Amino acid sequence: MRYERPNIAAMRGYSYGEQPSDSAVVKLNTNENPYPPSPKVAQVLRDFDVETLRRYPDATASGVRRTISQQFGLDPSETVITNGGDEGIRLAVNTFVDPGECVAVTSPGYSLYSIVAAVHQCEVYEVALTDEWQLPEKTSNLLNEQGVKLFCIENPHSPTGALFPLHALAEIAESFSGLVLIDEAYVDFVDPALSHDTAKLVAAHDNVLILRTLSKGHSLAGLRLGWLMGHRDLIEPIATKTRDSYNIDTIAQRVAAAAIQDTGHAHETWQRIRAERSKLECSLIGMGFHVANSQTNFLWARCPPQVDADTIYERLRRQNILVRHFSDPPRISQFLRITIGTPKQNELLATALSQMVADP
Ligand SMILES: *Cc1c(COP(=O)(O)O)cnc(C)c1O
């Protein structure tokens, strides 16, 4: 006898990037930051008094919230801390979309949005990106025609690495009748010369929610801490009703506050990753890959015609190098998504790839 709801029985779960236990693996498949977290994190953990765990955590993670609001120039009522960015996605769907209503996602895009929507029995509308991985013209008209309630958009985008300009998002927020969830999981890696500052959108639009996470930029994927920023009327129902009562544990709160305050350390890793990104991009292009401009900590590379992406993925894997390959939708099956690693890891990858391209 199966007891789950029919929509749960019918859906597929999230497909995780491989997490090997062997530390010798060159792991360029899940966009983790290759550099360690801030030394302040180690300090907090060393000094942590275990007795503290006897009590429930600060229910609203007020310390982290204060730190974040100060950093973004927001009021604490305009942000809510979540158990990883992923919880922010689930909370946005559960709080703002009725079962049967429609969630829009980009295709290709982060597969978790559709999974969260399926659990909540929502319809999913896919906005197909153009061949240059841009949003189609009049995206907001499409969303309005489909009666979309919530549009989830990664910016910079995953898996393509593209950054949508602020004015494009502002235009959508302006003319779309639903909510826009801007998923900024990778925004830390955007070139500072682009002056990309989305906090402005929060002030200007009451239908914009911004998602952030410490997983990528702060090297804390294992901690599970993210947050949503938006108009207080969007944040309030999440903060007071739909999130779990104690969604952030005490250790995560302490560690997060220390990591966020150590802006120097984080910025240094971002800068190193951007420099390595340019280097790896050049070497891949030299081998015949087509590489889209990336503002993230990964490259989205189309394999040269003489080689098959899935074969390359498998051959790299046999050499203990993991990258990500998606066979669905078919138009991305010739692409690899490659996380920027340490200089040494990137070199190992580049050497392996150049051999495979020379000897397909
Ligand atoms: C990594 C990621 C997230 C959030 O990850 P968490 O580890 O749950 O914080 C959200 N969106 C995208 C596109 C991501 O790649």
Q: Tell me the per-residue pLDDT of 264-273, one tens digit each, with 9 for 90 and over.
A: 999 999 999 9
Tell me the pLDDT tens digit for each residue of 152-205.
999 999 999 999 999 999 999 999 999 999 999 999 999 999 999 888 899 999
pLDDT given at position 18: 84
pLDDT given at position 99: 97
Phi (first) and psi of residue 36, to 5 degrees: -70, 160
pTM for this entry: 0.97
Phi (first) and psi of residue 70, to 5 degrees: -60, -45
Say if ligand 1 is within 6 A of residue 188 CB: no
Cα of 214 vs centre of ligand 1, distance in Å, is: 9
**Mean pLDDT for the stretch of residues 40-68:** 97
pLDDT over 90 at 21, yes or no: no
Q: Which atom of ligand 1 is nearest to the CA of 85?
A: 9
pLDDT given at position 253: 98
Q: Which residues contact 177 (CB under 8 A, 6 or more apart)?
A: 143, 144
For a mutational test of ligand 1's pocket, the pick from 81, 90, 114, 158, i.e. the residue with the most ligand atoms closer than 8 A to its C-beta, is 158
pLDDT over 90 at 80, yes or no: yes
Say if ligand 1 is within 6 A of residue 33 CB: no
Alpha-carbon distance 31 to 219, whole Å? 10
pLDDT exceeding 70 applies to what percent of the chain? 100
Q: 293 falls in which pLDDT band (50, 70, 90)?
A: very high
Per-residue burial over 301-318, b = 16 or more CB atoms within 10 Å of its CB, e = otherwise: bbbbeebebeebbebbbe
